[in-house]
Amino acid sequence: MLQTNDKTLLRGRVLTFHAAPRDEGDSAAYSYFADGAVLMAGGLIEAVGDYAEIAAQAPGATLVDHRPCLLMPGFIDTHIHFPQVQVIASWGAQLLDWLNNYTFPAETGFADPEHSATMAARFYDLLIGHGTTSAVAFCSVHPASVEAYFFEAARRDMAMIGGKVMMDRNAPEGLTDTPQQGYDESRALIARWHGRGRAHYAITPRFAITSTPEQLEMAGALVAEHPDCHVQTHLSENRDEIAFTRSLYPEAPDYLGVYERYGLLHDKTLLGHSIHLEPREIEVLATTGAKPVFCPTSNLFLGSGLFDDARLRAQGIHAGIATDVGAGTSYSMLQTLNEGYKVLQLQGQKLHPLAAFHWITRGNAVALGMADRIGTLDVGTDADVVVLNPAATSAMALRAEAAETLSEELFILQMLGDDRAVEEVYVAGRAQKALIGARVMA
């Protein structure tokens, strides 16, 4: 057998976070090595620091020189819809019409295992191409879509979270289950995938509108039986959605009260959007630890509203941030930060670039309860690394000529960056972007 040294030494400018930084002066919150290195071995981070020091520790390692690029932990997307890869950029509707006219018809196709497998390969190529190494996805109602989703993630050794949507009403035939079927299929998928390699299962009632009380009750039973699984759903995205939910669950004190009533809220619950919240709902988020997820490109695209991050932070609630493709308009977490910056600007709130890059790496990992494995370059964690070029396009390069600080450079990436700024991506220590190129050529 061919003998290879299994240590890889990446050289470049290295940035990783230890806490949420307030501003550039908050140097305890992050480490930055201007001539830095990341040593990877056996899929893990073995060392990180100044190049000269790390190189001396690993004389036989394979060196990959990424200078002058920035090395950071791979990006994490905390809310995306795998079966919506061909729904992104569908014109002219707000949430409920968009679901009925575009999304539900497209998701029907994922009953077919072959279609699911083909789309899964394309989906992961897109994630990797945009620097995203972990994501939390809604699959379709069909177990075949979940199978394809986790199978393809395992092939690439990616840490992925996901689950089958449970939906038993207000959706077309071919896209509904029953309370018992939703329970049984979810349970079987948990047994098959949760904890296998880097896979994590998320119990996934789509939202209150598409589940009967009986189904939410059975989703609650699953949550009680699998407390280490994540839970994901949608909350208070759109005014018509909220009114419809209130009419379906008239006894609930508010929208979040529906999920509360059925035992769906704990600190691994992710609530996409969470825009139009009542004071009581914010209290419930704070007491249960359930996490709102900010989806800026989607919220602007569907005209849903402006996520109020400062109001939540004031109660100690730290949201995730996510693309929400296919209502979101980009797979790029950089473009997500760009639109997020503007959504917060409209409300007089500031998103500092250091806080922004913390958010899409360690911040999202903390929201998922997974910062011990992903989201940082800490020694012993999984070696998921993104290599970024802040001068990737001519506009970025020209602007970068006048940038003097790290924060300025990060802000160029945040506002102007996308997949063109992603030079390479390592997943569990293995370079991935070159593989995508090879597949496209084949």
Q: Which is nearer to ligand GUN, 141 or 400 (CB)?
A: 141
The CA dihedral of 116, 117, 120, 122, to the nearest 10 degrees, is -110
Q: What's the rounded Cα separation, in Å, for the pair 37 and 54?
A: 7
Q: What's the rounded Cα separation, in Å, for the pair 363 and 18?
A: 10
Q: Which is nearer to ligand GUN, 260 or 324 (CB)?
A: 324
CA atoms within 13 A on the CB side of 83: 31
Closest Cα partner for 366 from 306, 291, 299? 291
Q: What's the rounded Cα separation, in Å, for the pair 426 and 189?
A: 28
Tell me the number of residues near ligand GUN by CB under 6 A: 11
Bridge partners of 63? 9
Question: Which of 77, 177, 237, 424 is in the footprint of ligand GUN by CB under 6 A?
Answer: 237
Q: Cβ(9)–Cβ(37) under 8 Å? A: yes
For 102, residues 6+ apart whose C-beta sits below 8 A from its C-beta are 87, 90, 93, 326
Shortest reach from residue 154's CB to ligand GUN, in Å: 25
Residues in 275-304 that interact with ligand GUN by CB under 6 A: 298
Q: Which is nearer to Zn ion, 324 or 339 (CB)?
A: 324
Q: Which is nearer to Zn ion, 107 or 324 (CB)?
A: 324
Question: Which of 51, 123, 207, 357 is in the footprint of ligand GUN by CB under 6 A?
Answer: 207
Shortest reach from residue 8's CB to ligand GUN, in Å: 38
103 scored as a contact of ligand GUN (CB under 6 A)? yes
73 scored as a contact of Zn ion (CB under 5 A)? no
Q: What's the rounded Cα separation, in Å, for the pair 352 and 331?
A: 21
Question: Which of 11, 130, 206, 291 is in the footprint of ligand GUN by CB under 6 A?
Answer: 206
Tell me which residue has tokens 């379906």.
Answer: 248
For the chain, how are helix, strand and coil distributed in percent, rounded to 5? 45, 20, 35
Question: Which of 46, 254, 309, 324 is in the footprint of ligand GUN by CB under 6 A?
Answer: 324
Question: Which of 81, 276, 352, 399 is in the footprint of ligand GUN by CB under 6 A?
Answer: 81
Q: Which range touches ligand GUN (CB under 6 A), out of 15-23, 95-103, 155-163, 258-266?
A: 95-103
- With CB under 5 to 8 Å by kind, the binding choice for 142 among Zn ion, ligand GUN, none is none
- Interface residues with Zn ion (CB under 5 A) are 272, 324
- Interface residues with ligand GUN (CB under 6 A) are 81, 95, 99, 103, 206-207, 234, 237, 298, 324, 327
